[in-house]
Amino acid sequence: MQTCRSRLLGFVCASALAWVLALGVASLPAAGAGGTLNVLYMAQAGYQPDDVRAMADLFEEVSDAKVNLTFVKYDEMHEKIVTSAIAPVATYDVVLLDLIWTAEFASRRMVAPLDDFITPQMRADIKPAILDAFVFDGKTWAMPFLANFQLFFYNQRMIEQAGFSGPPQTLEEMVEQMKAMKAKGIVSYPWTDSWNQKEGLTCEFVWLTGAFGGDTFDAQGRPVFNRGPGLKALEFMVRLLDEGLANPKSLTNDEAAAKDDFIAGNAAFTTNWTFQYGLMNDPSVSKVVGDGRMGLIPVAADARAAGARTASVSGFQGAAIMANSRSKELAWKYVRFITSPLVQRAFLQEMPVWTSVQQSAYAQTMDPVIGVKAEQLGAVHHRPKVPPYPEVSSIMQRYIHLALEKKMTPQQALDAAVREINGVL
């Protein structure tokens, strides 16, 4: 597999040379003479640092430009982008833009619109659900980089040891399987998750609300998660803790820690972003190679009866150009390169944004679960696209976590969160 990957990257490099020559990238000045870019990316979910570095190396090879990469944890990204935006000269030229920041950064003109660069042909090859995540006020503020979303990860060996043949299709079936695993001493805590008081907690709540048949905000952007599906979602989370099915450590876990629990064989079930699939099957870090599987996230029985097979949460990532960058032309050529079908074809550990790549025979061969990913992608639920999103999400995180800590009931916590959010919208 590594040999195939190396050969593919060699092919990509050769093909990229012809591609960028056509774009005029090779005529750019060398590093130190105006050909340097500073790029900010996260070291957490999504493409891993080694992948992003490899993409940058390819760009440097074919362009003679220099790319300085800075990797930080997701929780540090927002502040660093804001700091760069208010500086006289941008600290970073290209930044990772989480879809939840689109409205805020666009309304404050922190990033540059890309509509003059994105061609009709490019738009036609990206599903509207992905591209529209980066549209605000009629303009496109980032080029989609990867279609990140959550999937279901399960340990098939533990399922069979508990007396079942396959993964649960509903949340109720999952609880039944977890109780059997716990009763038989197969695993102490069958469920692990990223429920620390960070953005990941909001994401988990969004997909669980979807799994109970609803959304956290209505079509007008107003919070409705304190009743119906939202309330059921939080009650379900609390129930998993109360019954000893969810690991209490989940309350301090981020996505990486939840991944570590699962690939160490300490959990039967979890949901996580697409990055976990590759690590789960890497024998150098995983103890569940062959046992760990990936599938569709189960939904509540009522939701399934109503026609829903699965639910997830979107975490689409885009590459944006800072409005105060002095290297916008070079920045776009870098963005165009790393988001191109050619490069994404070489890095299939993450879901490509291009429909043509997703449906290609090559992708189907190299990624046997791309069909599962495509179906899960079609069932994503979004966090609200509102300018004060960081404040909105912080309120949700705080009150949901209070309920998980049993300091408030689910109803009390969600009612209080809705009141505060309505006050800032």
Whether residues 124 and 43 share a domain: the answer is yes
Which range of 12-16, 70-74, 188-192, 314-318 scores highest in mean pLDDT? It is 188-192
Angle, CA 218 vertex, CA 312 and CA 376 arms, to 5°: 15
Give the CATH number of the domain where residue 183 resides.
3.40.190.10
- Closest by CA to 98, choosing from 146, 39, 160, 154, is 146
Whether residues 328 and 339 share a domain: the answer is yes
- Kindly state whether residue 122 falls inside one of the protein's structural domains: yes
Q: Which residue has the tokens 């996260």?
A: 42
pTM above the 0.85 mark? no
Task: Output the CA–CA distances (angstroms, integers) from residue 285 to 44, 153, 276, in the order listed.
Answer: 16, 16, 11
The neighbour count for residue 14, using CB atoms within 10 Å, is 11
Residue 63 confidence (pLDDT): 85
- Kindly state whether residue 2 falls inside one of the protein's structural domains: no
Whether residues 170 and 307 share a domain: the answer is yes
State the Cα–Cα distance between residues 223 and 103, nearest whole angstrom: 17
State the Cα torsion 308-133-154-348 to the nearest 10°.
Answer: 120
State the Cα–Cα distance between residues 245 and 267, nearest whole angstrom: 10
Whether residues 289 and 160 share a domain: the answer is yes
State the Cα–Cα distance between residues 273 and 150, nearest whole angstrom: 4
Least confident of 5-9, 41-45, 123-127, 266-270: 5-9
pLDDT digits (tens, 9 = 90+) for 11-24: 444 444 444 444 44
Whether residues 198 and 119 share a domain: the answer is no
Whether residues 262 and 339 share a domain: the answer is no
Helix (H) or strand (E) holding 152: strand 150-155
Whether residues 125 and 243 share a domain: the answer is no
> For the residues 272-278, what does the mean pLDDT come to?
90
- Kindly state whether residue 116 falls inside one of the protein's structural domains: yes
Whether residues 202 and 84 share a domain: the answer is no
Report the percentage of the chain scoring pLDDT > 90.
70
> For the residues 215-226, what does the mean pLDDT come to?
94
When divided into structural domains, the chain yields a total of 2
Q: How confident is the model at residue 44 (pLDDT cuts 50, 70, 90)?
A: low
Whether residues 218 and 251 share a domain: the answer is yes
Whether residues 73 and 113 share a domain: the answer is yes
- Kindly state whether residue 53 falls inside one of the protein's structural domains: yes
State the Cα–Cα distance between residues 233 and 210, nearest whole angstrom: 9
Whether residues 128 and 230 share a domain: the answer is no
- Kindly state whether residue 6 falls inside one of the protein's structural domains: no
Q: Kindly report the average pLDDT of the chain as a whole number.
A: 90
pLDDT digits (tens, 9 = 90+) for 142-191: 999 989 899 999 999 999 999 999 999 999 999 999 999 999 999 999 99
Host domain of residue 266: 150-313+386-423
Rg (CA), the chain: 22
Whether residues 113 and 42 share a domain: the answer is yes
- Kindly state whether residue 65 falls inside one of the protein's structural domains: yes
pLDDT digits (tens, 9 = 90+) for 324-369: 999 999 999 999 999 999 999 888 878 899 999 998 999 888 888 9
